[in-house]
Structure 1
Amino acid sequence: MKKSISTLILIFVSLINYSQSYEFETVIDLETTDVISQGNTGTCWSFSVSSFLESEIMRKTGKKIDLSEMYTVRNTYPKKAWNYIMRQGKAQFSEGGLAHDVINSVADYGLVPNVAYSGLETDALRHNHAEMIAVLKGLLNVFIDNPGKQLSPKWKQVTESVLDTYLGKNISTFNYDGVQYTPKSFLEMTKIDPEDYISITSFSHKPYYSNFILNIPDNFSNGSFLNVELNDLVNITNTALKAGYSIALDCDVSEKTFSSKHGLAVIPKDEVNNKDALTKIMSEKTISQVLRQQEFENYNTTDDHLMHITGMLKDQNGTTYYKVKNSWGNNPDRVAHNGYIYMSEAYFKLKTISIMVHKDVVPKKILN
Structure 2
Amino acid sequence: MKKILTTVLTLCVAFTAAAQTPEQPAEEKKTEGYVFTDVKVLPTTPVKNQHRSGTCWCYSTLTFLEGEILRAGGKEMHLSEMFIVRHSFMDKAVKYVRLHGELNFAEGGAAHDVTEGIKAHGIVPYEVYPGFNYGTDKPDFHELSAVLKGYLDAVIAAGDKTGLPLSTAWQRGFNAILDEYFGELPETFTYEGKEYTPESFAASLPIRMDDYVDISSFTHHPFYTQFIMEVPDNWMWGTVYNVPLEDMMAIVDNALENGYPLAWGTDVSEKGFSRTKAIGIVPEADLDGMNGTESARWGKLTEAEKEAALYKFDKPGKEKQITQQMRQEAFDNYLTTDDHGMVIVGTAVDQAGNKYFKVQNSWDALPPYDGYWYFSRPFVEFKTISLMVNKNAIPKDIRKKLGL
Is TM (by shorter chain) over 0.5? yes
Match of 1:214 among 207, 229, 245: 229
CA–CA separation in structure 2 for the residues paired with 1:47 and 1:161: 24
Instruction: State the match for 1:361 in structure 2.
Output: 393
The offset of 1:103, in angstroms, is 0.5
**Structure-to-structure mapping, 1:1-368, within 5 angstroms:** 21-121=33-133, 124-145=136-157, 146=159, 148-150=162-164, 151-270=166-285, 271-276=307-312, 278-332=313-367, 336-362=368-394, 363=396, 364-368=399-403
Q: Is this contact kept in 2: 1:20–1:281, CA < 8 A?
A: no
CA–CA separation in structure 2 for the residues paired with 1:108 and 1:294: 36
Q: Is this contact kept in 2: 1:107–1:194, CA < 8 A?
A: yes
Q: Which amino acid aligns with 2:177?
A: V
Instruction: State the match for 2:9 in structure 1.
Output: none
Partner secondary structure for residue 213 of structure 2: strand
The offset of 1:152, in angstroms, is 2.4
The offset of 1:183, in angstroms, is 1.1
Instruction: State the match for 1:10 in structure 2.
Output: none
CA–CA separation in structure 1 for the residues paired with 2:204 and 2:75: 10
CA deviation string 1:321-341 (max 9, x = no partner)? 111110111133xxx210111
TM-score by length of 2: 0.83
Aligned residues with identical type, % of pairs: 41
Partner secondary structure for residue 226 of structure 2: strand
Partner secondary structure for residue 130 of structure 1: coil
CA–CA separation in structure 1 for the residues paired with 2:110 and 2:38: 29
Q: Is this contact kept in 2: 1:132–1:162, CA < 8 A?
A: no
Q: Is this contact kept in 1: 2:47–2:371, CA < 8 A?
A: yes
The offset of 1:154, in angstroms, is 2.0
Q: Is this contact kept in 1: 2:225–2:402, CA < 8 A?
A: no
CA–CA separation in structure 2 for the residues paired with 1:88 and 1:223: 20
CA deviation string 1:218-275 (max 9, x = no partner)? 1111101100000111110010000000000000000122123211000101444343
Q: Is this contact kept in 2: 1:61–1:190, CA < 8 A?
A: no
The offset of 1:210, in angstroms, is 0.4
Partner secondary structure for residue 355 of structure 1: strand
Corresponding pairs, count: 346
Q: Which amino acid aligns with 1:166?
A: Y
Q: Which amino acid aligns with 1:261?
A: T
Q: Is this contact kept in 2: 1:247–1:355, CA < 8 A?
A: yes
Partner secondary structure for residue 354 of structure 1: strand
Q: Which amino acid aligns with 1:105?
A: G
CA–CA separation in structure 2 for the residues paired with 1:273 and 1:245: 37
CA–CA separation in structure 1 for the residues paired with 2:177 and 2:135: 19
Partner secondary structure for residue 49 of structure 1: helix
The offset of 1:121, in angstroms, is 2.0
Q: Is this contact kept in 2: 1:260–1:339, CA < 8 A?
A: no
CA–CA separation in structure 2 for the residues paired with 1:366 and 1:183: 36
CA deviation string 1:49-93 (max 9, x = no partner)? 010010011111230001100000111111111121111011111
Partner secondary structure for residue 207 of structure 1: coil
Q: Which amino acid aligns with 1:324?
A: V
CA–CA separation in structure 1 for the residues paired with 2:234 and 2:315: 37
Instruction: State the match for 2:27 in structure 1.
Output: none
The offset of 1:125, in angstroms, is 1.7
CA–CA separation in structure 2 for the residues paired with 1:349 and 1:134: 36
Larger radius of gyration: 2
Q: Is this contact kept in 1: 2:134–2:182, CA < 8 A?
A: no
Partner secondary structure for residue 72 of structure 2: helix
The offset of 1:353, in angstroms, is 0.1
CA deviation string 1:95-132 (max 9, x = no partner)? 00000000000101111100000001265221101211
